[in-house]
Structures are given as C-alpha cells and as structure tokens.
C-alpha cells in the first residue's frame, strides 16, 4: 500500500486585498529596477561644462552666438553711440575742456550724447510729420519717449539729490569751521567718494523731506499743498507722468522742487547757524577730538545722524505723535497770527459739531435698545440681492 502525501499549498503573505497586492508589486519592481550606476552618476563632480552645457553642440553654439550678438548690439546702441554723439557735440560747441575738468568725462559725455540723440529724435519727428511718414513718426516718437524717460529718471534720482547734498554741505560749512577750499581739496583727492557721499546725504534729505510733507498733509486742510506731489495718491504714476507731460513741464517742476529744497535748507540749517553764532559766538564750530587712531570727520557724523539717530527716533510711535502734535500747535499759532486759520486748517468748528452730532446719534441708539439691540438689528438686516450675486451665493 502506498501513501501519497501532497504538500500543502503555500499561504500567500499578502491578503486578497488588491491594494496591498499592488503595493507589493510596486515595491518589488522598484527593487528589481534599481540600477547602481545611477547612484554613481549622482556622486560625480559637477563641472562648469555640465552646469552650463558646454558640450560643443550646434545648439549651444547658436545660443552663444545670440547672446554675444545681443550684448554687442546693446553696448553699441546704449553706450558706444551716445558716447560718440556726446563727444561730437562737445567738439562742435568747444566744451570738451569743461568735461575733462569734471573728473567724470565719460559719464558726462554719455549724458550729453543722450540729450543730443533726443534732440535729433525731435528734429526728425517733425520732418516725418511734415512729410506724412506715419510709421517713421511713430518709431521716432517711441525713441524720443525712451530717451526722455531715461534722462528725467537720471535727473530726479541722481542730479537733484546730488545738488541737495552739495547745498547742505555748503550751508553747514560754518558749523564745522570748514571752507569751500577744503571741500574742493577733498573732491580733487577722491572725486568718486565725494560725489557718492553728497548724493547719499541729498537722497536721505529728500526722503525725510517727503516724509515731512506727508505728515503735513495729515494736519493741514486738503488742497493747501496743491503744488507738491502727493505720493499717497493711488493714481500717481511717475512713469506715466514722464511719458505724457511735455519736457518743459518737467523742467518747471524740477526747478520748483530745487527752489523748495534749497529754501528749506536755508531756513532750517543756514539761518539757525547764523543766529547761534550771533547769540553764542564761542559755541560753534562743532569739532570732535578723538584719542584713538580712528578717523572720524564731520561727514561721518552727518551720516550717523541721518542713518542711525533720525530713523531710530522716527520709528518710535510716540515720537511721531509728539512731532505731529508740535506741528499742529505750530500751525494753529501761525494761522491765528496771520488770520488764515480756516484756509490753513479748515473749519474746525463744523467738524467738532459733526462729531458731536454723531455722538448724539450713538447715544440715542443706545437709549432705544442698547448696544446689544443695535448689533441684533444689524445682524437681522438682509443684504441687497446684488451683493449676494456678487459674492456667489
């Protein structure tokens, strides 16, 4: 008699659930498809050839050709041509020696070249308009707008703060016992550093002057400072203004800004120094003597005052509140002395009456049902159907 013993079927470790089966297959496939060479490639050293694609293919050579061509074209159009145009203009007008004496001959020649290019654009635009060439007229107008916006940006961001910085330095010479000869010597010794420091001081002065104007707008009646730009206006766009306004209008605004900035420096710096020297002759000049080897001059002290002390004071909320209250009281006193209270500050009586009427309405609502009843009434109010449709309900 023979007994046949059959082996039991192996029980699968994974249940009949297809999700677990798929997971197992995926893990198995990942293990089977693992290639050690890929991990070896990841550990290779990254070179400039692999990073920039310096493989020598025709596609890469084409990209290099376009990059070099566009950079060359950009340099020729925006640097080489304006420089030679400015050099030609200086040679015609016999002003080349003045540009050479400025220690910034290249920059000044390029700026003069841009001005000459703008004048040529205007001249040829008039000719194209006279001959009826509309496409040429549009292209010339576009080029003139680009040159005009660029030059106005350079003047407002570079030249105007630089002039303000030099004017601040000139008006404060008596405070530091310095002369114009000393400033000329420092400029000849380091022209780039001198220009940068004066530009930085002028830029900080323009920034704080704009902050002071914004603070005055909060105190004075709306419309009093109509001749100054309102930087908080959402419709204010300096680029759009440069594009649409004529060049003579921009020149007039720049002259007005220069006069306002210069007058403010005279009133706030030069005049107090003169009064202080007349009242206390031995108080000025302001000098610093140090026992160590660190070189600290008056320009570094001005930068410390403008960059460290003033921002730390103005960032404090109570300092701003005190300054605003001081300005409000000063404006009230001056307006009462000159008899222009309603023009300068507005009708404060009517505003006080309006606030009193609003307070009376609030008191009446509280007497009717209290604050809780008012909130309940607002909660039970149904909004208009248009607002519901706008919100998507």
Same structural domain, 192 and 288: yes
Q: Are 222 and 123 in contact (CB under 8 A)?
A: no
Judged by average pLDDT, the poorest of 263-272, 302-311, 362-371 is: 362-371
Same domain, 180 and 259: yes
Angle at 169 between CA 157 and CA 104, to 5 degrees: 55
Please compute the mean of the pLDDT values over residues 110-125 and round it to a whole number.
Answer: 91
Q: Per the domain annotation, does 68 fall within a domain?
A: yes
How many domains does one find in the chain?
A: 2
Total Cβ atoms within 10 A of residue 77: 10
154 plus 284 within the same structural domain: yes
Return the percentage of the chain with pLDDT > 70, whole number: 65
Together in a domain, 241 and 103: no
Q: What would the pLDDT profile of 321-364 be if each residue is shown by its tens digit?
A: 888 888 889 888 988 888 888 888 876 554 444 445 555 554 54
Same domain, 123 and 152: no
The parent domain of residue 189 ranges over 145-293
| pLDDT score for 300 | 62
In a domain, 19, yes or no: no
- Kindly give, in sequence order, each residue whose CB lies less than 8 Å from that of residue 320, ignoring residues fewer than 6 positions away: 215, 314
More confident of the two residues 8 and 81:
81
pLDDT score, position 241: 86
Q: Is residue 241 one of the residues assigned to a domain?
A: yes
Whether residues 111 and 220 fall in one domain: no
End-to-end alpha-carbon separation of the chain, Å?
Answer: 86
- pLDDT tens profile 155-196: 999 999 999 999 999 998 888 888 889 888 988 888 888 999
In this prediction, residue 259 carries a pLDDT of 92
- 155 and 288, same domain (yes or no): yes
For 57-112, the pLDDT digits (tens) are 777 788 888 989 999 999 999 899 999 999 999 999 888 888 888 888 888 999 99
Does residue 47 have a pLDDT over 50? yes
Q: Which of 73, 106, 132 is the last residue of a domain?
A: 132
Average pLDDT, the chain: 75
Q: Please check whether residue 333 lies inside any domain of the structure.
A: no
188 found inside a domain: yes
Q: Check whether residue 108 and residue 59 sit in a common domain.
A: yes
CA distances from 110 to 101, 103, 220, 331, 363 (A): 15, 14, 44, 47, 70
DSSP string, 19-55: HHHHHHHHHHHHHHT--HHHHHHHTSPP-HHHHHT-S
Last residue of a domain, one of 109, 132, 155: 132
> Do 214 and 287 lie in a common domain?
yes
Predicted confidence at residue 309, as pLDDT, reads: 65
Q: Are the beta carbons of 152 and 241 closer than 8 angstroms? A: no
Task: Mark whether 98 and 164 lie in a shared domain.
Answer: no
Segment 193-241, tens digit of pLDDT: 899 999 999 998 998 888 888 888 888 888 888 777 777 777 778 888 8
- Give residue 145's pLDDT: 92
Section 26-45 average pLDDT: 52
Are 163 and 241 contained in the same domain?
yes
Predicted local distance difference test score (pLDDT) of residue 26: 47
Domain boundary among 271, 293, 315: 293
Residue 46 is encoded by which pair of tokens? 């990254």
Query: Is 38 inside any structural domain?
Result: no
In a domain, 238, yes or no: yes
Residues 107, 168 within the same domain: no
Res. 372: pLDDT tops 50 = no
In a domain, 243, yes or no: yes
């Amino acid at each position: 008699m023979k007994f046949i013993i059959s082996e039991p079927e192996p029980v699968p470790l994974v249940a009949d659930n297809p999700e677990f089966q798929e997971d197992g297959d995926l893990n198995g496939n990942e293990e089977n498809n693992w290639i050690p060479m890929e991990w070896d490639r990841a550990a290779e050293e990254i070179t400039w050839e692999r990073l920039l694609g310096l493989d020598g293919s025709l596609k890469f050579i084409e990209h290099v050709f376009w990059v070099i061509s566009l950079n060359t074209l950009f340099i020729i159009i925006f640097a080489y041509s304006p420089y030679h145009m400015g050099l030609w203009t200086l040679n015609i007008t016999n002003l080349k020696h003045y540009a050479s004496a400025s220690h910034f001959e290249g920059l000044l020649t390029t700026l003069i070249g841009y001005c000459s290019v703008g004048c040529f654009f205007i001249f040829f635009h008039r000719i194209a308009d006279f001959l009826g060439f509309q496409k040429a007229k549009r292209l010339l107008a576009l080029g003139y707008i680009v040159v005009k916006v660029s030059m106005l940006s350079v003047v407002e961001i570079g030249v105007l703060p630089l002039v303000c910085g030099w004017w601040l330095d000139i008006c404060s010479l008596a405070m530091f016992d310095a002369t114009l000869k000393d400033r000329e010597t420092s400029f000849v010794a380091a022209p780039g550093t001198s220009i940068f420091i004066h530009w930085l001081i002028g830029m900080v002065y323009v920034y704080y002057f704009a902050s002071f104007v914004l603070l005055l707008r909060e105190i004075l009646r709306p419309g009093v400072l109509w001749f100054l730009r309102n930087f908080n206006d959402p419709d204010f766009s300096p680029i759009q203004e440069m594009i649409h306004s004529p060049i003579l209008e921009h020149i007039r605004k720049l002259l007005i800004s220069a006069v306002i900035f210069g007058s403010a420096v005279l009133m706030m710096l030069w005049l107090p120094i003169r009064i202080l020297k007349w009242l206390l002759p031995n108080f000025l000049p302001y000098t610093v003597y140090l026992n160590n080897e660190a070189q600290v001059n008056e320009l570094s002290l001005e930068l410390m005052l403008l960059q460290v002390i003033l921002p730390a004071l103005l960032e404090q909320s109570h300092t701003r509140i005190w300054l605003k209250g001081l300005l409000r009281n000063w404006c009230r006193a001056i307006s009462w002395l000159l008899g222009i209270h309603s023009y300068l500050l507005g009708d404060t009586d009517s505003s006080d009456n309006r606030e009193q009427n609003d307070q009376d309405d609030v008191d009446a609502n509280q007497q009717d049902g209290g604050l809780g009843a008012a909130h309940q009434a607002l909660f039970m109010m149904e909004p208009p159907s248009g607002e519901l449709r706008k919100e998507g309900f």
